[in-house]
Amino acid sequence: MNIALIGYGKMGKAIEKIAIEKGHQITAIVDSKNPIELLKINNIDVAIEFTRPELARKHMVYCLEIGLPIVVGTTAWKEDLPAITDMVNKQNGSLVHASNFSIGVNLFFEMNKKLAKIMEAHPAYKLEMTEIHHTQKLDKPSGTAVTLAEEIIEQNTNYKHWRLAEDNKLVNENEFFIHALREENVPGTHLISYESQIDSIHFEHIAHSRDGFALGAIVAAEWLQNKKGIFTMKDVLQH
């Protein structure tokens, strides 16, 4: 498989390493020196995009216009999802997006939903979430934390909203905090805590490196070949 990397920071380099180990080739790189407009579909099977939210839509639109399947790991562009979905359908395009491509995190998502449903019957346990990432990560909270929070709200009727803990106060009992911490050299940690006066229940995923995210993105790119439509990592792992 010939891959175009859109974004060549730490994540892009991790994807390059894993892709080559799996026998794929990196045939194009888009970065500040090589803008997306120079990308041609010749000898490219799929693009993998990890950049910044303000650039992601432009990159998706360009790839869809030239008929290039794309895997998108950038987060915090959810407001553009309806327009991108329409474009995928109109262009008969191929796109996979996810708040987190790690296979372990996607297993964590499924367990989080089951735990949230169980805890619905035990409102004495109060929920909080903490996510820790490297200092270069700009979005707060992380896309993974937002996904976890939305899943909890879907499963547990005791909660209707989440709030970022910085400079905020909980307004209602049906809200919970997400604490977003930034520390050096932390690939990603997500901790869900249910606290009562009697005891605590902690449920945590800790990434040891970026390799899990890189591997998941490549698995998604492999899966996307010869498919049409807009998909998530859940689709990838269910087939």
Q: What CATH number did the domain enclosing 222 receive?
A: 3.40.50.720
Across 42-61, average pLDDT = 96
Across 80-101, average pLDDT = 97
In this structure, the answer to whether residues 200 and 227 fall within a common structural domain is no
In this structure, the answer to whether residues 76 and 132 fall within a common structural domain is no
Residue 167 confidence class, pLDDT cut points 50, 70, 90: low
* pLDDT tens column, 124-162: 999 999 999 999 887 899 999 999 999 999 999 999 999
Is position 10 annotated as part of the catalytic site? no
| Parent domain of 45 | 2-97+211-238
> Model-level pTM?
0.86
**Strand, helix or coil at 233?**
helix
Give the active site residue among 24, 59, 97, 133. Answer: 133
- Would you state the pLDDT for residue 172? 85
Q: Report how far residue 141's alpha carbon sits from residue 178's, in angstroms, rounded to the nearest whole number.
A: 7
In this structure, the answer to whether residues 92 and 167 fall within a common structural domain is no
Query: Per the omega criterion (within 30 degrees of 0), is the bond before 141 cis?
Result: yes
In this structure, the answer to whether residues 217 and 162 fall within a common structural domain is no
Give the active site residue among 137, 179, 227, 228. Answer: 137
Is position 137 annotated as part of the catalytic site? yes
Closest by alpha carbon to 44, among 11, 21, 19? Answer: 19
Q: Look up residue 7 and give its two tokens.
A: 């974004």
CATH code of residue 138: 3.30.360.10
